[in-house]
Amino acid sequence: MIYRFCYRTNYPITTYLSLVGVIFGVVLATLGEVSSKTFGITLTLLGSLSAAMKTVVTNRLQTGGILSLSTLELFYRTGPLTCALGLIAGGLNGEMKRLWEGFQGQAKDVALRVLFLVVNAVMALALNIVSFSTNRDTSPLTMAVAANVKQVLSIVIGVVLDGERMEVVNVVGE
C-alpha cells in the first residue's frame, strides 16, 4: 500500500485478490493471542511500518529515481550509520554491558565468543545481501509475501523438528 500511494504504482486486481490468503493467514495467526497491551500493539505496528518502509526505500534506492545503487554500494553508504545506531541501541538496553561481561572469562571462552560473533555477523551480512538483491530484482510486495511465508515455515519447522505443541486455537484461531 505504501508503494501504491507514495509512487502511484497500480497492480492488477489479481494481485490484490492473491493477497487475501496472506491477510487471512495473518488474522488467523493473531486470533489465538490471549492478551495484548497498548504498548505492545503500538510497538508491533511501528515495527511493521518500519519494515515496510525499509523494503520500499531499499527497492527505490536500487531501482529508480535519481539513485540506482548496487546492493553492496547501498551497504557501503548506509553501513556506518546503521552500525552506530546499533551500538547506541545495544548500549541503551544493556546488551553491550552483557557482551563485555562475557569477554571477562578465560581465553578459550573469549575466543569461542568472538568466533560466534564473527560467524553471526557474516551470516547476517549474507542474509542482507540476498534480501536486498531479491528486493531489487522483484518488488516490495513480493518481499512482504515472502516474509509471511517465512513465518509460516518457521512455525511448521518448529512443530515438526522441535515437537512444539499446537493447540486448536493456535491453528484455527478463536
pLDDT tens-digit series, residues 8-29: 777 778 877 877 877 777 676 6
Predicted local confidence at residue 81, as pLDDT: 92
- Residue pair 53/46 in contact by the 8 Å Cβ criterion: no
- The answer to whether residue 46 sits within a structural domain is yes
- The answer to whether residue 90 sits within a structural domain is yes
- The answer to whether residue 173 sits within a structural domain is no
Predicted local confidence at residue 84, as pLDDT: 93
* Total of domains in the chain: 1
Give the whole-angstrom CA distance, residue 18 versus residue 147: 15
Arithmetic mean of pLDDT over the chain: 80
Predicted local confidence at residue 139, as pLDDT: 81
Question: Higher confidence at residue 30 or residue 77?
Answer: 77
- Write b or e for each residue in 94-116: b if 16 or more Cβ atoms lie within 10 A of its Cβ, otherwise e: eeeeeeeeeeeeeeeeeeeeeee
- The answer to whether residue 174 sits within a structural domain is no
- The answer to whether residue 27 sits within a structural domain is no
- The answer to whether residue 88 sits within a structural domain is yes
User: Per-residue confidence at 85, pLDDT binned at 50, 70, 90?
Assistant: very high
- The answer to whether residue 6 sits within a structural domain is no
* pLDDT tens per residue across span 114-146: 888 899 989 998 988 998 888 888 887 788 788
Give the whole-angstrom CA distance, residue 34 versus residue 65: 45
User: Per-residue confidence at 65, pLDDT binned at 50, 70, 90?
Assistant: low
Ranges of beta strands (E only) in the chain are none
Predicted local confidence at residue 123, as pLDDT: 94
- The answer to whether residue 144 sits within a structural domain is yes
Range of the domain at 68: 36-164
- Tell me the pTM: 0.64
